[in-house]
Amino acid sequence: MLQEFPTQTLREGCPCVLETERLSLRRPTLADVKAIARLANDRRIAENTRRLPHPYSQEHAVEFVRFTAAEPHEIAFLIENNFAPVGMVGINMAERDAPELGYWLGVEHWGQGFGTEAARAAIDYFFEESSGEHLFAGARVTNPASRNILEKCGFQWSGVELHRFEALGCSTPVDRFRLSRSVWSSLKHWSSSVRRER
């Protein structure tokens, strides 16, 4: 049964593992800190991700893992391919009416379709586990690869906003996108992701 949004169902269900054709998505733990820091410590990622600082240290990764474990409005999944971490995907629900999808991949994993595959699994999880009618996302206007992922997932462009990027130390234009439950439902044939309990 769907809960009122925002919902504790998302947090309570978070220990599950989402599986796609090539990927497993699971909650990050302190054992993942070294891998997360290694992947995230690249200016090309930080400049296209609002909240990532640069340089990105293991201390930043520890803080992130602890925050996502304790914060009910932040759902984060470590993306793994063949048991090796490749990036992160998550949903921030801090704004009641504007839950937001976010993701990043280590540079060596760009261009392999992992971003789209992981985003679709997280999107399915959101709409299946909550009563939310819309999911939002953003892509820096200079980041066509991220915009392409969102469009392949059914997101529709809704305008441009200025957002602050920690690594840049300033605000920069971001293309904003929105995905409705009805559009997601019509596109659901896109994958055969499954969920298993840990």
Residue ranges and CATH numbers for the domains of the chain are 8-132 (3.40.630.30)
| pLDDT reported for residue 23 | 97
pLDDT < 70 stretches in the chain: 1-15, 189-198
Measured from the Cβ of residue 55, the count of other Cβ atoms closer than 10 Å reads 12
Assess contact for 184 and 2: CB atoms under 8 A. Answer: no
| pLDDT reported for residue 6 | 43
Among the listed residues 104, 110, 166, the one whose alpha carbon sits nearest the alpha carbon of residue 138: 104
End-to-end CA distance of the chain: 21
| pLDDT reported for residue 198 | 59
Q: How far is CA 72 from CA 13, 67, 120, in A?
A: 11, 9, 21
| pLDDT reported for residue 190 | 61
| pLDDT reported for residue 188 | 80
| pLDDT reported for residue 194 | 63
Assess contact for 78 and 36: CB atoms under 8 A. Answer: yes
